[in-house]
A and B are shown apart, each in its own frame.
Chain A
Amino acid sequence: MKDLLRLRTSLSEEIELLLNEQIKTEAYSSAVYLAMASYCNRNGFDYSAGYLENQSNEERGHMLKIFKYINDLGGRAISPEVVNIPQEFESFKGVFELALQQEIKVTSQLNRIADQCMRLKDYTTFEFIQWFLKEQIEEEYVARRILELFDVIGEEGTGRWQIDKQIPKVSYGESAGEE
């Protein structure tokens, strides 16, 4: 009997499902960063607001990358339903604590996908997902460095004003540990 399933796509059902979940996670990240941008904006942290807006765009870019991959391989990419976006945050620092937590969650989810790819011998998706795993090194690094600013500069006096100014300047060097 002709193999219609394989003619349709080289993606297995499990991997397609996992990738669609990842689309949802990236969309969620994008929406949360946008809510954070709004919080920072209304509290006078202009530089952070700009930085978080850019982050939001980046996450949407990640989402589209996976979306395109699924469709390119003949799968069915699903436009995600994104709900339960927090609009209020504990504090200026709380925003970035949550950001780091979200990035850590994304990393572990991507690791699970890589794991499943190995298990199912889907080396095409395994290769595709490498870009994201690499990206997460940068994402976690930047999120951690930003949090450290709160300790290094201190929040007292004009501290928060200075932290806000520094946040968009935090970047990840070519190799780990480099400035």
Chain B
Amino acid sequence: MKISWPHMGSLEVVLASVFEELGLEYVPAPPNSERTLELGARYGPEFACFPLKTTLGNFIEAIEAGADTLIMVAGRGPCRFGYYAETQRRILEDAGYEFEMVPLTFHLGKMPLLMRQLRRLKQSASWTSLARAVKIALSKAYLIDRLEQQALHQRYLDRDKGATTSALKECYEMVFQCDGYDRLRRVEREGFELLHSVPKTERQPIKIGIIGEFYLVLEPFFNLQVEEQLGYLGAYVERNIYLTDWLRPSGNKPIAGHHDSESEEAARPYLTHAVGGEGLHSVGNTVLFHRHGFDGVVHLMPFTCMPETIAKSILPMVSQDLGIPVLSLVIDEMTGKAGVATRLEAFVDLAHFRRRAHRQELPLAPQPAF
């Protein structure tokens, strides 16, 4: 059995380390590329969500690379994510691929089903070793998230463009290699040191928040590296979601530094009900970003995404009320990097201008942004 899964930011490191720890065979899907998207768009249904297509592309490439067991999360609505696994299974079967889809259902009423699926995946490994592997993988993911956050906060200070990014890549490697908590603690120290040691220049930042659909926020290849682009444009960047924050069922978001209920509260004047996905939090986090002195918010939205479409129709009102510029980027297979770059540039200019015109300097929080 060769297991594979779709890419989503640092998810690769987490799952690979679980299977590595358990000694199970896995085939990482080839890195996201133009071809991934092309395959996904070719087989994917018309106007299905963008992430459905890209992850479908991942699956096809993984099968080509020899995978035969595909993991996907399944669930319940109201947005489409819960039905991805089933839809993709049908599409891949129609296209004549041979594989087995294991949809992991994280839902209280479906616990026995989840246990069955996990048993199939873990094969002969024991439940305790599975739990241990998952635990350390989550610790790794938590570390990666904090390293990524650090990179977001400091990228604009790079003396040599790209230095932070390459340091971050090194960190990924270190984290992935390490086994055991002792090593992990050492890597944590080394990783942060590495990032801090990147040569810096003096620069006045502007603060930009990134909000939007979680897949698009977490997956740098398909969001056209907005984070990096913004960093190079001189922005101190913070995003509303990190992988481990997203995985937490409690709604607490220690890395982003707030609780879901806070952002729901903040959204209340504009949107009073959850609309699936990140829709409600996109609105709420815009308000929170404003409260924490951010100069602008970039909203990432896959074309046809339902929750974000709602957010997008409400955000102009928020933006007007609070006076914080919001740039909605609708991303699909046609979106060109060049076009996005120009828009980001113009947006950062606008944010700069408004900051000079309207606001006194706000002190920059050194670590968590809010």
A binds B: no
What is the interface of chain A, defined by CB distance below 8 A to chain B? none
